[in-house]
Structure 1
Amino acid sequence: MAYDLEEQEKVDELKAWWNKNGTTVMLAVAVFAAVVAGIQGWRVYQNSQQRQAALVYEAVQNGVQSKDIKRIRDAAGQLIEKYPGTPYASRSALLAAGVNYESGDAKSAKAQLQWVVDHAKEDGARDIARLRLAGILLDEKSHEEAMKTLEGSHEKAFDGLFSDLKGDVLTAQGKMADARVAYKAALEKMDGKSAYRQVVEMKLYGLGEHG
């Protein structure tokens, strides 16, 4: 009988606790379930976005192969507008920028490259955009703006190219001593087997650096 009374007391205590805390517990469970469902739903949405963006990116690539400038521009614009969070948007913007620049539309090319710099999810794409943008600015004799574009951190793999382009900007500014330093830094950072080393060496030679 004592056992029954003890069990009854535990049951009564449990009921009292549930009456006091049951609503909070159920709410917590509901919130947790909603969060889990939300995460799963977001993953499904992201996967769907990636698949759709990949299809549009195919149109960009096909446009490049067929040299269809309008197709490239339209598809790249669609990716930037509808799927900006995907890697395909920045990659297509890089391709479109190249096409625009080659066709004489430097303004659009710079705008697309700047978009990649500001929004790319991939560091490599952002660094490529910075190099290309700085190159265009150098061609336009916007030397200070070009140098500003090259400042800041970037992936180690691009160290040599950034130093080389800084050397080009400094040369254009007439800062030959600084340009030599930049070119030497480029050689130090480049792969010893890189064919581009010869180009940098020629630039140094042109500045009177003969070994």
Structure 2
Amino acid sequence: MVASDEEQIERIRDWWAEHGRTVIAGIALGVVAIAGWYGWQGWQENRVASASAAFGALEQRAAADDNAEVVELAREVATAYDGTSYASLAWLLGAGVAVENNDLETAAAYLERATDSTRQPQLVATAELRLARVLWAEGDHAAALQRLNDAPAGFEGLYAELRGDILLDEGDLAGARSAYETAAASDAANGLLQLKLDSLPVAEAGGAS
């Protein structure tokens, strides 16, 4: 059965941390370099601390009031602290609020930015997984499945399960069963996943209906 837009958005809702130099001249240069290094380190630490505080305030605001202002505030925090892990987290949070507001286009755009703003595998994988869900909800099954092609380590089961959901929505029972079995063999195995497997028509397991 093809889920309604509201049901797919609800699934997204249900389903919802980042270097010596000759005598006097050489000594002088060394001192400057060392001072500069510690200054840069201090600046970085202060920036990360500021980013953490800004993201904390953003979380509190989102918990109190899920609206378009929070989505815009998330963009401002992410832009201001680009290069820190909090930028990606802000994009992710903003995307979640956008979903709550049924603004899937903005959610997809924010999730794209989330993947581009970090090199941390877990954050990238989380953003890609959520982006696939949003694309699915928008009806772009091909784009959603493409996002699930290369599952990062530790996310194989989650990617496979979502792939199964999308294939099942398309009527590809064999593909869905294969994806669910892959997920069931991973650490992501759970009761709901087994229920999905058990509910697939056995007679049609070898092909799409």
Flag whether TM exceeds 0.5 (same fold). yes
Q: 1:78: how far off?
A: 1.9
Q: TM-score, normalised by structure 2?
A: 0.77
Q: Does residue 182 of structure 2 align to residue 185 of structure 1? A: yes
Bigger Cα displacement from structure 2, 128-137 vs 36-45: 36-45
1:37-79 CA-to-partner distances (Å, cap 9, x unmatched) read: 3321221111111121122112211112212424422431222
| CA separation of 1:32 and 1:63: change in aligned 2, threshold 3 A | same
Matched-pair contact (CA < 8 Å) for 2:158–2:188: no
Give the 3 Å change call, closer, same or farther, for CA 153–39 of structure 1 in structure 2. farther
Q: Which residue of 1 aligns with 2:162?
A: 165
In structure 2, C-alpha distance between the alignment counterparts of 1:148 and 1:130, rounded to whole Å = 10
The 5-angstrom pairing of residues 87-98 of structure 1 reads 87-98=85-96
Alignment of 1:186-201 (within 5 A): 186-190=183-187, 197-201=190-194
Residue 204 (structure 2) pairs with residue 207 (structure 1) = no
Contact kept? 1:138, 1:146, Cα under 8 Å: yes
> Mind listing any 5+ residue stretches in structure 1 that lack a counterpart?
1-22
Q: Aligned pair in 2 of structure 1 residues 79, 134: CA closer, same or farther (>3 Å)?
A: same
Residue aligning to 2:31: 33
Q: How many residues align?
A: 183
- Per the alignment, residue 46 of structure 1 pairs with 44
Alignment of 1:117-132 (within 5 A): 117-132=115-130
Paired residues of 1:76 and 1:92 also in contact (CA < 8 A): yes
Following the alignment from structure 2 to structure 1, what is the Cα–Cα distance between the partners of residues 196 and 120? 31
Amino acid at match of 2:112: Q
TM-score of the aligned structures, taking structure 1 as reference length: 0.77
- Structure 1 counterpart SS, 2:185: helix
Aligned-residue offset at 1:33: 3.5
1:134 CA displacement: 0.3
Larger radius of gyration: 1
Structure number with the higher helix fraction is 1
Tell me, in whole angstroms, the C-alpha distance in 2 between the residues paired with 1:173 and 1:68.
32
Task: Rate the CA distance shift 1:97–1:31 in 2: closer, same or farther, 3 A.
Answer: same
Residues in 1 aligned to 2:198 and 2:66: alpha-carbon distance in whole angstroms: 41
Tell me what 1:149 maps to.
147
The aligned counterpart of 1:105 is: 103
Q: Secondary structure at the match of 2:82?
A: coil
Check 1:45–1:139 CA distance in 2 against 1; reply closer, same or farther (3 A cut).
same
Gaps of 5+ in 2: 1-20, 204-209
Aligned equivalents of 1:33, 1:209: Cα separation in 2: 74
Greater relative CO, 1 or 2 (CA 8 Å, sep 6+): 2
RMSD: 2.3
Deviations 1:6-64 (A, max 9, x none): xxxxxxxxxxxxxxxxx955554444434323321221111111121122112211112
**Alignment match of 2:78 (pick from 77, 80, 83):** 80
Q: For residue 102 of structure 1, what is the amino acid of its counterpart? A: E
The residue aligned with 2:13 is none
Q: Which amino acid aligns with 2:90?
A: S
